[in-house]
Amino acid sequence: MGVNVQPKLIIHGGAGSSLQGKGGVETVRKSLYQVITEVYGLLEKGTTAEDAVIRGCQLLEDDPLFNAGVGSVLQSDGQIRMSAALMNGSLQRFSGVINVSRLKNPIELAKFLQTSPDRILSDYGAAELLRELNIAPFDPLTDRRLYEWIEDRKQDFNRKMANVVAETSDHEAGRGTIGVVALDQNGRIAAGTSTGGKGFERIGRVSDSAMPAGNYATAQAGVSCTGIGEDIIDECLAAKIVIRVGDGLSLRSAFERSFVEANDRQRDLGAIGLDASGAIAWGKTSDVILAAFHNGQTMGDSLEMLPGTQVLVA
């Protein structure tokens, strides 16, 4: 493992249909850059990739613009159930929670579970762990999410899913799975992903976000996905990209090959990632992916990418 590696960071706030207007783009950019600024500053001070990812996920979960933690979308029965995962790449260790309720930061449970013999908990087990850890109950519901759910209920939930993209017009509230992937000064990689799910889903539906399909890291690379969970699971996208890098493909080639396949199968998804050499990549088949990064010199983002399938590297 190297020392004094230039840290790298990429985060996302969802993928989906187009952002509405320039005002929406600027609001999202401001939110993403605030997170990048704080978390990249931690990496420059020597914070581990795992701790940087946890902090980044907390900040994005706390922002009601995005569909994770505060501002999570409601399921078909009007309840919020959230999922989150953390993967330490150098230890190649995954932990996560599935359909947890009444909690501000699901990533904190994933953090605790990193060192637990049982590393992935679902609803009842996660609730029991919350009590054991004395984590104060918290209702992540926002007025906007409740309003959206009531409006969709009037139409019998005939939309495929809640729009996963943060939007800031009067009619559309912010939505979007969040994710963070970091490379630290010691060359360690970690990935974290957190979500309120698709919105309006059947009770018990399991998101990709707490599966290796949606969040995966090794010593060579880390990836966090966003979009329609079923599509991400069918592609096994995060694990596939990371394993391709481990097998010798460049990050760019691993992303490109995986997104050609996803596009051929008409998937609706996006992903962010980085590798141990410091390459950063993001890709999407959907209109937009809300990603931002710090490459050591400058911050950049994906907010004005053209609609359609694309992969970019930094």
Binding-site residue numbers for substrate are 205-208, 226-229
Sign of CA dihedral 243, 246, 247, 250: positive
Which lies closer to ligand GLY via its Cβ, residue 88 or residue 177? 177
Q: Residue 250 Cβ, how far from ligand GLY at the closest point, in Å? A: 26
- Is 16 among the residues that bind ligand GLY (CB under 6 A)? no
Q: Identify the residue among 13, 64, 192, 229 touching ligand GLY (CB under 6 A).
A: 229
CA 182 centroid distance within chain = 13
Which lies closer to ligand GLY via its Cβ, residue 233 or residue 251? 233
Q: Identify the residue among 228, 249, 288, 311 touching ligand GLY (CB under 6 A).
A: 228
Q: Identify the residue among 90, 177, 218, 220 touching ligand GLY (CB under 6 A).
A: 177
Residue 117's contacts (CB-CB under 8 Å, 6 or more residues apart) are none
> Of 213, 189, 174, which is closest to residue 85 (Cα–Cα)?
213
For 56-90, the DSSP string reads HHHHHHH-TTSSSSTTPPP-TTS---EEEEEEETT
Residue type at 160? K
> Of 187, 192, 221, which is closest to residue 56 (Cα–Cα)?
192
Q: What are phi and psi of 233, to 5 degrees?
A: -65, -45
Query: Residues 85, 211: contact at Cβ < 8 Å?
Result: yes
- Is 285 among the residues that bind ligand GLY (CB under 6 A)? no
Q: Which of residues 45-74 bind ligand GLY (CB under 6 A)?
A: none
Count of beta carbons in the 10 Å neighbourhood of residue 303: 18
Which lies closer to ligand GLY via its Cβ, residue 26 or residue 261? 261
Query: Residues 166, 65: contact at Cβ < 8 Å?
Result: yes
Sort 283 into a burial class: Cβ within 10 Å, 0-12 / 13-18 / 19+.
buried
How many chain residues touch ligand GLY (CB under 6 A)? 12
Q: Of the residues 47, 48, 142, 177, which is catalytic?
A: 177
Q: Residue 15 Cβ, how far from ligand GLY at the closest point, in Å? A: 9
Q: Residue 123 Cβ, how far from ligand GLY at the closest point, in Å? A: 15
Q: Identify the residue among 209, 285, 295, 310 touching ligand GLY (CB under 6 A).
A: 209
Active site residue 177: yes
Q: Identify the residue among 101, 226, 295, 310 touching ligand GLY (CB under 6 A).
A: 226
- Is 215 among the residues that bind ligand GLY (CB under 6 A)? no
- Is 208 among the residues that bind ligand GLY (CB under 6 A)? yes
* Binding-site ranges for ligand GLY (CB under 6 A): 177, 195, 197-198, 207-209, 226-229, 232
Catalytic site positions: 177
